[in-house]
Structure 1
Amino acid sequence: MELNRLLLFTTFLLHIKPSRMSPMGLICDQRLIQKYVLEAVALEDKVSHCGELPLLQQPVHLPLVGFNPRDWMAKTNQAKGLEVLRDLAKLVDGTAAAQRGLQPGCAFALLQQLYEKASTFLLQLRNFEWQEQDSTRQPEEDSQLIPERNLRTIFQTYKQLVRGKLRLLFHDLWKDSCGGDHG
């Protein structure tokens, strides 16, 4: 399975436009985040068409991605970015663990898509400037995790993360880095 992921990732890298692979290309094209939000919603919808989903034998640990808007706005972009990185890393880990517990089929294929999308965000955000500025400091707090056996919750968590923290982070970075105003 690892070889398949490597081949898929290599194929992805060969077909992606260089401007969209750079963090600034991702941040400065606001249409992209809206596209990713719509894809997250579509993934969650597609999983409902898979029929009865089995519960995972072993629970996976997913980040709690809800947040208080007032607390979020008080954070620096660097703190927001590190928080999103932690949440994405935990979601990627949880998705990979869920895949190991499934047989190939509808849900497995959709989990693979989610894994690829979340891994791409993780890769891009790890290349962003706050990593260099703060590479020696340990995160102030770890993401809170919840054990989950329901596959639908993995898709809901991803959608909530993309619609919430990730979209707001990209908006804030856009304002600061791409000449955006408050409109």
Structure 2
Amino acid sequence: MELNRLLLFTAFLLHIKSSRMSPTGLVCDRRLIQKYIAEATDLEEQMRRCEELPLLNEPVQLPLVGFNLRDWIRKTNQAKGQEVLHNLGKLVEGTAAVQNELRQGCAVAPLQQLYERASTFLLHLRNFRGQEEGGGEQPEGASRVTPERNPKRIFQTYTQLVRGKLHFLFQDLWRDSCSREAPGDA
């Protein structure tokens, strides 16, 4: 058991090291965002098939991930990245809180998958951001959250985030970091 943990930790460190060496891999393969959108939709669909889920005893704070495209375009990539990082952080926190309350039933596996995917995005984007210009300022509207007691809403929030802000951020980062490498890819 201890050897398995050591191997897992070593693999994790190697993954982190390689992603720092080539952070653009996350955004330069334009097919990845489509894959992430499909996965988010699948997770949301899994939750829809769950029978009656109880409302949470304590509401979780979910980020408000809707946005105005005109305002989004005016922001710098750094500001967009900070906003997405903040949204993902709130989503991970909310997912962990829901997991603590719903420990059995059909929601357990999709919640774990959502937690892992959102955490992985958070990690990759932090690594990517770490190699760009620094900046730890709080993004505009960072405190925009809503209390939610319906566990299914966390999946809707994640899907909306991936289809919206994350998709557009990937497009912008691709344009800045990858388009010179693959001019024919649009």
TM-score (norm 2): 0.84
How much has 1:14 moved relative to structure 2?
8.3
Q: Secondary structure at the match of 2:107?
A: helix
String of CA shifts for 1:30-77, please: whole Å, max 9, x gaps: 111110000000000011122111111110000000000000001111
Matched, 1:152 2:152: yes
Correspondence for 1:53: 53
Correspondence for 2:78: 78
> CA–CA distance in 2 between the matches of 1:152 and 1:75?
31
> CA–CA distance in 1 between the matches of 2:170 and 2:122?
13
**Greater C-alpha radius of gyration:** 2
> CA–CA distance in 1 between the matches of 2:25 and 2:173?
11
Q: Runs of 5+ in structure 2 lacking a partner?
A: none
Correspondence for 2:41: 41
TM-score (norm 1): 0.85
Q: Runs of 5+ in structure 1 lacking a partner?
A: 1-5
Q: Secondary structure at the match of 1:39?
A: helix
> CA–CA distance in 1 between the matches of 2:11 and 2:44?
22
String of CA shifts for 1:114-156, please: whole Å, max 9, x gaps: 0000000000111123676334534444240100000110000
Aligned length: 177
Matched, 1:165 2:158: no
Q: State the percentage of identical aligned residues.
A: 62
Aligned-residue RMSD, C-alpha: 2.8
Partner amino acid for 1:34?
Q
Q: Secondary structure at the match of 2:114?
A: helix
Partner amino acid for 1:150?
N
Partner amino acid for 1:29?
D
